[in-house]
Chain A
Amino acid sequence: MKYIPTIGVECHVQLATKTKLFSEIDNDARGKEPNSCVSPVDYALPGMLPRLNGEAIKFAIRAGRAMNCKINNYSRFDRKHYFYPDSPKGYQITQFYHPIIGEGYVELPSGTKVRVEHAHLEGDAGKLTHFDTYSLVDLNRVDTPLIEIVSMPDIHSAADARDYCKELWRLMTFAGVSYGDLYNGNMRFDVNVSIAPEGSDELGTRTETKNLNSFRSIERAVEYEIKRQTKLLEAGEKVVQETRGWNDATGETTGQRSKEEAKDYRYMPEPDLPPINLTDEFIAEESAKLPLMPADYRAKFNGHLPNDTLEILLDYPQLIAKLAEVDEFAIKKVANWFTSVLLAEENTSLLNDALPSENQLEELVTMTDKNELSSTGAKEVFIKFFDPEMHFKATREIAKELGVIQENDLGALEAIVDAVLAKPETQKAQEDYRNGEQKVIGFLVGQVMKESHGKANPSAVQEILKKKLA
């Protein structure tokens, strides 16, 4: 029997606000000592009250609009109670009943639309590190603002699950609401997977694989779950509804023992935070701050760039934004330098925020188009754009310093060609060429290039040679 998988994704996005969601403490704990970004509020000392960060609301509006979601005028917070050392309060402040972000959708590069059910604001939990007989608690991450994005079960393959998560990553980083650093847990994904016989109206029993933090692991975990569940059903067994963990080393998911009663969260309205009631004007004002999004870039570059080049560049918000600034005539070449030079394995260290200006890039295209630079020379100049000492120099100046401007002056080229043809070591080649051995022209071009210290334009040299040897 053929089984159809159905997949839904929950995604937690850490918002890149300066302070935490409920306290005026540094929210960016990257590279900082454990428990160094913790206030008495995060520590849940008696009498401490949360103070809502207005920027998190604005970020949530932008994040929501990035996913074509309706922003709810009215939202408020609830307490979700649970006992665990990662939460000193004993509850998480979340939006269970009235989330700020309503329904919307994310369109994948393949054209598949995945509906977003809702997304809500909440505080993150602390970090636990487990040892043999004890665990250590670092509360730096407590109440970092999160939005949790809940998709509808609209995904039916592991590849689409991966693409959906990747598109969410793009939307959040393009919208500027998250650093999007997956390695450091800025975005974490839970995937719900079930399978049902083809044509069946009912969904199968689902499992939830939690805390995936790479696109590759999302795809692999979903693939594994589909296979595992298919095997179970084919053997006449049942899928157990449970939470599973992913092991990247073994490539397997495993069931996690969890007590049934742990699901009893006893939600109640958060009495310390008044509700949010946004005007349409406020929502519109924040929505207008959304910069160009992946869909805008796809529309803009459609027809100018091959799809695969475009999709690669969409993984680098700063590169695609730069490309949007260069003049139309330069788009293709600049995109090519970005993907084949800058993003090449050996140059990954070059990529930083100090990108070349659109003037520098356009001039580089113009010089290449005029044959003043060979493709190799253009690459050399392009790489120098990222050298802190060359960064501010004009393209022509850099090309001159590198000595890669090609000699196109026909008079000057002829003089060099004549000098080479007069050399004793080229006589045999000339004779061979006249006798019909066309291939030796390569040797002669090489000699001219050498004589010109690489500055001659090889195709021009070849033309001159052909004329002279005719």
Chain B
Amino acid sequence: MDISRADLKHLASLSNFSMSDEELDSLSGDLQNIVSYISELNALDTEGVEPTYQVFEMENVWRDDEIKPMDANREELLDLTTEEKEHQIKVPKVL
């Protein structure tokens, strides 16, 4: 499978990344190598092999529905944002 510049641009836009031409060039090379490497797995015959979704073979791991004290308070969390207003996170207008 070939990774084109258009594919990479599409992927970047889905994640809202802006990339320079140089970055696009170098990343498409890197990504192409990764995909080629992984593609080698296609040589294996996986007929009848169940897909592996996780490797720990655990299931039904859940907790009780009890409120626990917060590990961090609102101000500590909001301090991590670039800009806040009225205890909310301020972001460029979307839509």
B56 / chain A contacts, CB cutoff of 8 Å: 274
Partner of B70, one of A39, A134, A139: A39
Contact between chains at A43 and B74 (CB < 8 Å):
no
Contact across chains for A54 and B71 when beta carbons are under 8 A apart: no
Our pick among B15, B59, B95 for the contact of A83 (Cβ within 8 Å) is B15
Chain B residues positioned under 8 Å from A17 (CB to CB): 65
Contact, CB under 8 Å: A85 / B14:
no
Q: B45 on the interface (CB 8 Å rule)?
A: no
Report the separation of the CA atoms of residues A53 and B68 in the bound assembly, to the nearest whole angstrom: 13
- From known contacts A18-B66, A90-B15, infer whether A274 and B59 are also in contact, taking CB-CB under 8 Å: yes
Considering only CB atoms, which chain B residue lies closest to A126 in the complex? B89
CB < 8 Å: which of A81, A133, A138 contacts B88? A138
Please give, as numbers and ranges, the residues of chain B lying within 8 Å of A76 by CB-CB distance: 53
Query: How far, in angstroms, from A105 to B23 measured CA to CA in the complex?
Result: 52
Is A52's beta carbon under 8 Å from chain B?
yes
> Which secondary structure dominates chain B's binding surface?
loop
Docked complex Cα distance between A266 and B11 (Å)? 10
Choose from A34, A39, A273 the contact partner of B71 (Cβ within 8 Å).
A39
Closest residue on chain A to residue B55 by CB atoms: A271
Determine whether B5 belongs to the interface, using a CB cutoff of 8 Å to chain A.
Answer: no
Partner of A84, one of B53, B70, B94: B94
Which residue of the partner chain, among B58, B77, B87, B91, contacts A85 with CB atoms under 8 Å?
A: B91
In this complex, what residue of B is CB-closest to A17?
Answer: B65
Q: Does A33 contact B (CB under 8 A)?
A: yes
A contact patch SS: loop
Q: Are A137 and B93 in contact (CB under 8 A)?
A: no
Residues of A within 8 A of B70 (CB): 25, 39
By CB atoms of chain B within 10 A, which of A51, A136, A264, A276 has the most? A136
Residue from the list A19, A83, A271, A276 in contact with B67, Cβ < 8 A: A19
Q: Is the CB–CB distance between A133 and B61 below 8 Å?
A: no
The answer to whether A85 and B94 touch across the interface, beta carbons within 8 angstroms, is yes
Q: Point out the residue from A18, A82, A136, A273 that lies within 8 Å of B90, measured CB to CB.
A: A136
A135/B94 in contact, CB under 8 A: yes
Shortest C-beta distance, B78 to chain A (Å), equals 6
Question: Does B22 have its Cβ within 8 Å of any Cβ on chain A?
Answer: no
Is B16 at the interface (CB under 8 A from chain A)?
yes
Whether A57 sits at the interface, judged by CB under 8 Å, is yes
Residues of B within 8 A of A277 (CB): 59-60
**Which residues does chain B contribute within 8 Å of A38, judged by CB atoms?**
74, 77
- Residue pair B72, A39 in contact (C-beta under 8 Å): yes
Taking the complex as formed, is A40 at the interface, i.e. its CB lies under 8 A from any CB of chain B? Answer: yes
Contact A52 B74 (CB under 8 A): no
> Is B33 engaged at the interface, CB distance under 8 Å to the other chain?
no
Scan residues 77-104 of chain A and give those whose CB is less than 8 A from a CB of chain B: 81-85, 90
- Does A35 lie at the interface of the complex (its beta carbon under 8 Å from any beta carbon of B)? yes
A57 CB → nearest B CB, Å? 7
Offer 24 A-B interface pairs, CB within 8 angstroms, sorted by A. Answer: A25-B67, A34-B87, A35-B77, A35-B87, A35-B88, A40-B71, A43-B80, A45-B80, A52-B62, A53-B63, A54-B63, A57-B62, A81-B15, A129-B88, A130-B95, A134-B93, A137-B88, A261-B13, A264-B10, A264-B14, A274-B58, A275-B59, A276-B62, A277-B59
User: Apart from A40-B72, A277-B59, what 5 extra A-B contacts exist at CB < 8 Å?
Assistant: A53-B62, A130-B94, A136-B88, A264-B10, A274-B54
